Structure 1
Amino acid sequence: MPKYERIIFWSEDDQKWLVDVPELPGCMADGDTPAKALENVEKIIADWLATARELGREIPVPKGRLAVI
């Protein structure tokens, strides 16, 4: 699995843990626990990449940790 950065946080609105993959626009997952959210996002990443390939879209090269300015 590519090493894209994953940002995990608690959402009061959703009452779930969310995981965002900033390098893949719109790529997010949720879960009742941090571990479950991280587990769920692995399938979402795979689906995101498969869809991008099918549509002929550019797939970003993983940069790892994003710089915060």
Structure 2
Amino acid sequence: MSQLTYPVVITPLSVEEGGGFAATVPDLPGCMSDGETPEDALHNVLDAIDSWIEMAEELGHSIPEPSMRRAQAAG
């Protein structure tokens, strides 16, 4: 599975939250990262996706298919 197939949501963080941008991966619960710019957040979350998948495999957990792929299969 290519990590780029997982949808990523990038949102700005408030000053109270430290500023910058948060990147979350809705298909992978708890998978998130941040960065000073949206591009930084995206770059950082790609590493988080790799780590999330690696840990899930080590723990014997199933890895969800990207929702975009599920939507294409259903359509």
Deviation at 1:63, TM superposition (A): 1.4
Q: Is 51-60 or 11-20 further displaced after alignment?
A: 11-20
Deviation at 1:14, TM superposition (A): 2.6
- Name the SS for the 2:46 alignment partner: helix
Separation in structure 2 between the aligned mates of residue 33 and residue 15 of structure 1, nearest angstrom = 10
Q: Determine which of 22, 38, 57 is the counterpart of 1:34.
A: 38
| Identity fraction in percent | 42
Deviations for 1:9-45, whole angstroms, at most 9, x for unmatched residues? 0010231200010010000010000101000000000
- Larger Rg belongs to: 2
Q: TM-score, normalised by structure 2?
A: 0.81
What do you get for the CA RMSD once the two structures are aligned? 1.7
Q: Determine which of 6, 9, 20 is the counterpart of 2:8.
A: 6
Separation in structure 2 between the aligned mates of residue 22 and residue 36 of structure 1, nearest angstrom = 18
Q: Which runs of 5+ in 1 are unaligned?
A: none
- Higher strand fraction: Structure 1 or Structure 2? 1
Runs of 4+ in structure 1 off by over 3 angstroms are: none
**How many residue pairs end up in the alignment?**
66
Q: TM-score, normalised by structure 1?
A: 0.88
Separation in structure 1 between the aligned mates of residue 42 and residue 54 of structure 2, nearest angstrom = 19
Name the aligned partner's letter for residue 47 of structure 2: K
- Higher helix fraction: Structure 1 or Structure 2? 2
